[in-house]
Amino acid sequence: MISFVGAGPGNVDLITVKGRQVLEEGDIIIYAGSLVSKEHLKFCKDDSKIYNSASMTLEEVIEVMKKAVEGNKKVVRLHTGDPTIYGAIREQIDELDKLNIEYEVIPGVSSFTAACASIKREFTLPNISQTIILTRIEGRTPVPEGEDLEDLAKHNASMAIFLSVQEIDRVVEKLAKGYGSYDIPVAIVYKASWEDEETLFGTLEDIGQKVKEKGINKMAQILVGNFIKGDYERSKLYDPSFSHKFRSASK
């Protein structure tokens, strides 16, 4: 059995209880060493075998999995955040299907929610946005047509932009074009939930400068939208004059 596990954003206690349990029982651990905290490995069995996938190809990862399963070993494939977002798990899953190897996927706390927690905000405010766009700028990996940041910004939705802080100037230009303004709140969260986490606040006008001053060029979320700063209406859910299935309106 192969368990794809979300390790969470960094802090070792932000893995799920289920994920930790599987990690404790794993015989073979393949972890994404560039982003997953090594602290997770202290929960593994003493005799577990640990691979860092940072220096491995897909073929090598699959080979390790295949041999392990042949030897009746439990494999944990530890991905950063939630494995279903920029995890490159689909290509592994498809290879496992071809080999008739069983697997499960255990979700994790993604860095986009961890980043929003760090700045103590809520993505979905009633009259501001009820939609969150998770995306990245195109780089060496392109994005499909219609998903350019400029087009996405036109929706005025709350945004969490992954894998892009090293390109902050291009990000800002595209967003400003889409929003039609530089006066849009932005927060940068570097290494959300790690001990050396940093947060920066600004607008499309000045955030590029701030990011460069701090020298942030990797492992950051770019959060964008009016959910970060400004007025909003309170929610109907907790409004005394609004009744719903679990509470009738007060008289």
Ordered alpha helix ranges (H), 85-218: 90-98, 111-118, 149-153, 168-179, 207-214
DSSP-assigned states of every residue in 203-236 = ETTTHHHHHHHHT--SSEEEEESTTSSS--PPPS
C-beta of residue 34 within 8 angstroms of C-beta of residue 7: no
Closest contact distance (angstroms) between CB of 23 and ligand SAH is: 17
Q: Binding residues for ligand SAH, how many (CB under 6 A)?
A: 23
82 lines the binding site for ligand SAH (CB under 6 A):
yes
Beta-strand pair 220-224/132-136:
unpaired
Least Å distance, CB 34 to ligand SAH, is 9
Q: How far is the CB of 134 from ligand SAH (least distance, A)?
A: 9
Q: Does 86 bind ligand SAH (CB under 6 A)?
A: yes
**Closest approach of Cβ 140 to ligand SAH, in Å?**
13
Contact stretch for ligand SAH (CB under 6 A) within 13-21, 140-148, 192-200, 239-247: 192-200
CB nearer ligand SAH, residue 87 or residue 225? 87
Which residue from 19, 26, 33, 87 is in contact with ligand SAH, where contact means CB under 6 A? Answer: 87
111 binds ligand SAH (CB under 6 A): yes
- Residue 166 burial (10 A CB sphere; 0-12, 13-18, 19+): middle
Q: Which is nearer to ligand SAH, 94 or 196 (CB)?
A: 196
- Interface residue with ligand SAH, options 64, 159, 219, 224 (CB under 6 A): 219
Interacting residues with ligand SAH between 152 and 171 (CB under 6 A)? 162-163
Q: Nearest 5°: phi and psi at 185? A: -65, 140
Binders of ligand SAH in range 13-72 (CB under 6 A): 35
Segment interacting with ligand SAH, rule: CB under 6 A, options 20-28, 70-78, 190-198, 240-248:
190-198
Asked if residues 163 and 86 have their Cβ atoms less than 8 Å apart, the reply is yes
Of these, 174, 191, 207, 211, which contacts ligand SAH (CB under 6 A)? 191
Beta-ladder partners of 224: 159, 186
User: Is the separation of the CB atoms in 108 and 192 below 8 Å?
Assistant: no
Tokens, residue 67: 């041999």
- Which of 9, 178, 202, 225 touches ligand SAH by CB under 6 A? 9
Among residues 106, 52, 54, the alpha carbon closest in space to that of 83 is found at 106
**Alpha-carbon dihedral 30, 34, 36, 40, rounded to 10 degrees:** 60
40: tokens are 């997770």
Considering the complex, state which of residue 77 and residue 79 has its C-beta at the smaller distance from ligand SAH.
Answer: 79
User: What residues make contact with ligand SAH under the rule CB under 6 A?
Assistant: 9-10, 35, 79-82, 85-87, 110-111, 115, 162-163, 189, 191-194, 219-221
